Amino acid sequence: MPKYLRQTGSGHIYHWTPALAKRPDMIPYNEETARIRMEQLQKRLAEIKARKEAGEKGTAGNPNITMIEQAKELASLETEVERLENEERVADEAKAMEEATGNVKAEGKAMTNEDIVAEAREKKIEADPQVRAIRAMANTDDVESYMLSEFGENIDKRRALKALKDYAEMKRIDRMFEK
């Protein structure tokens, strides 16, 4: 039986060659595996559409389609499932962000995007276990050990504990929000 490769984006089928097999957009093609994958994707697509449109169901695949049609349908289904999953994820993240930050301040004024971002940043800082550990450090040796292990930086232990902890916390926060 000859070997084939399927291009993930377009669904085109190619004869297997070592050069094509090395490409990241090429995956081995097997008709039985493709049929099983199509059935799985159609079920997943139906689940997503059902959640999105309350009751609309996907259609079952036709087992008598040609290899080229099958590969194109498989690529189409993969693209559709990925798109819908991304839409769902973005909607869930937006809803979670809205619930976490709320859209309105206590005084009743609408929050700006900057306010929402600042509040989310502050919540992330407060929830960070390393920041909490820094704040709980009881002596300069703890701070020195932390700074050495995390940042490879020696600190001046003659400074006040509060100043050292503030510096360590600032370094941790900078690292958390590096781009």
The string of pLDDT tens digits covering residues 92-146 is 777 777 776 655 444 555 677 888 888 888 998 999 999 999 999 999 999 999 9
Q: What is the pLDDT of residues 14-35, one digit of tens each?
A: 888 999 889 888 888 777 777 7
**165 pLDDT above the threshold of 90:** yes
Question: How is the chain split into domains, by residue range?
Answer: 4-101, 128-176
pLDDT band at 58 (very low <50, low <70, confident <90, very high): very low
Contact (Cβ atoms closer than 8 angstroms) between residue 125 and residue 173: yes
Question: Minimal CA–CA distance to 74: which of 61, 59, 56?
Answer: 61
pLDDT band at 56 (very low <50, low <70, confident <90, very high): very low
pLDDT band at 179 (very low <50, low <70, confident <90, very high): low
User: Can you give the pLDDT at residue 95?
Assistant: 76
- Reported for 113-120, long-range contacts at CB under 8 A and 24+ positions apart, including other chains, are none
User: Can you give the pLDDT at residue 113?
Assistant: 80
Task: Give every CB contact of residue 119 below 8 A, 6+ residues apart in sequence.
Answer: 101, 111
User: Which pTM was predicted?
Assistant: 0.39
Average pLDDT, rounded, for the chain = 80
CA 155/CA 169 separation, integer angstroms: 13
User: Can you give the pLDDT at residue 60?
Assistant: 47
pLDDT band at 62 (very low <50, low <70, confident <90, very high): low
Which is more confident, 51 or 124?
124
Contact (Cβ atoms closer than 8 angstroms) between residue 155 and residue 147: yes
